Structure 1
């Protein structure tokens, strides 16, 4: 498997001048699912079609982190694109994607930061266009900076989500329970676009990844016959 996030990770590693050492990055891991051997979850990776696309704009080392969940979006959504973010230059391929007439980009970000910009809460792509959700994959502090300092995104509507639930993600923790990991946001966007099956599959894939990752960390057994694994198995 060589999807957009894995390719971005390899490109970022290739230009590193010193090893990137994140928490948990020293352990041997499956190159496909990023979980240590013995807890690999590749056998349950879902295959679900979706109409929407995902564009991940990732902060410098985000693709290198073993707990990054943008990777999970690329696992599930075939039309996922990933680009590194820079304040001083923009990848020409990113600009070409945003200008592609087959896509209707939406910048997914909270309404409170969209002053002076078109803010929407629903997806309504024009005929002949497919929704493309642009997600800023970073810590919350980094994402706010990226949102402010990316003028090439200002011409697109800001999609503000209003979820009722709290974040379920347990591998990295925001100080606010109403902040969601990238995969959770991606699943909400898919649901808004009418890709309900892909949305549910991504939610389950996130739960499976979190469960396997934590089980490996604490050397706990995995119940491969539970409802979660059976749902994912049916989507193979």
Structure 2
């Protein structure tokens, strides 16, 4: 059961339209995938997509083929948070709509990036620490890419240079099992999104996004291993309890 296409889905369609040849995801089943969640139909999670009111927003700046990867988790943020915007990144050009979003007075953008790689004068650890942020809605700008790609995007995007850099502080190690980072402290995009929501005081939305990621990971791996879904396991029950509390 597919949902209406959101911003990441539309970016994926646009990227596919520019492709000279079909994109083949590495590993996993090669057959039909649901357009709404990128999983095979028997493991589709569209019916479980949460509807959570969230004041914060997200701006996903995505590396070239990131929207095409079935394992991408920026997609999950767009599922959960209505005000999610997605743009493809290119070194030589920038979408005018991205610049307009970053300049929109209703938002206070925060570029989420490790503080150890940034001039300390730009680094904040609180979503209300930026000058002029009073009353504005937080907009978390995430570089949705592999770590080497994200560092390149950070260095070669001068329009991001004036944004405060939100450096996340967390002792939690990534539980993401689909794409492993060489550094255990690196989070997947959806985990970063959940941490941002916690900082913004959106605890329920953060927990829901975490639970939704767990269900997505569960079903993705079961599909890859050709195993059936157990809708009553712990991951599914947690998501159900958060989205349909008694």
Flag whether TM exceeds 0.5 (same fold). Answer: yes
By relative contact order (CA 8 Å, sep 6+), the higher-ranking structure is 1
**Equivalent residue for 1:31?**
35
User: Which residue number in structure 2 is paired with residue 142 of structure 1?
Assistant: 149
Q: Which runs of 5+ in 2 are unaligned?
A: none
TM-score by length of 1: 0.96
Report the Cα distance in structure 1 between the residues aligned to 2:120 and 2:52, rounded to whole angstroms.
37
List per-residue Cα deviations over 1:188-228 (Å, max 9, x = no partner). 00000001111001000100000001011112232212343
Name the Cα RMSD after superposition: 1.4
Cα distance between partner residues in 1 of 2:63 and 2:50: 27
Written as runs of structure 1 = structure 2, the 5 A alignment for 1:223-234 is 223-234=230-241
Q: Which residue of 2 aligns with 1:72?
A: 76
Equivalences for residues 59-138 of structure 1 within 5 A: 59-115=63-119, 117-124=121-128, 126-138=133-145
Q: Distance in 2 between matches of 1:181 and 1:4?
A: 19
Deviations, residues 64-104 of structure 1 (Å, cap 9, x unaligned): 00100000000000000000001111000000000000000
- Which deviates further from its counterpart, 118-127 or 5-14? 118-127
Q: Taking structure 2 as the reference length, what is the TM-score of the superposition? A: 0.92
Q: Name segments (4+ residues, structure 1) moved above 4 Å.
A: none
Cα distance in 2, alignment partners of residues 169 and 42 from structure 1: 20
Cα offset for 1:127? 2.9
CA separation in 1, counterparts of 2:226 and 2:23?
A: 25
Partners of 2:167 and 2:208 in 1: CA distance:
22
Query: Does structure 2 conserve the Cα–Cα contact (< 8 Å) formed by 1:46 and 1:233?
Result: no
Q: CA deviation at 1:143?
A: 0.2
Contact 1:25 1:65 in 2 (8 A): no
Q: What's the CA shift for 1:46?
A: 1.1
Gaps of 5+ in 1: none
Q: Work out the CA distance in 1 between the residues paired with 2:14 and 2:75.
A: 15
Quick one: distance in 1 between partners of 2:135 and 2:119? 29
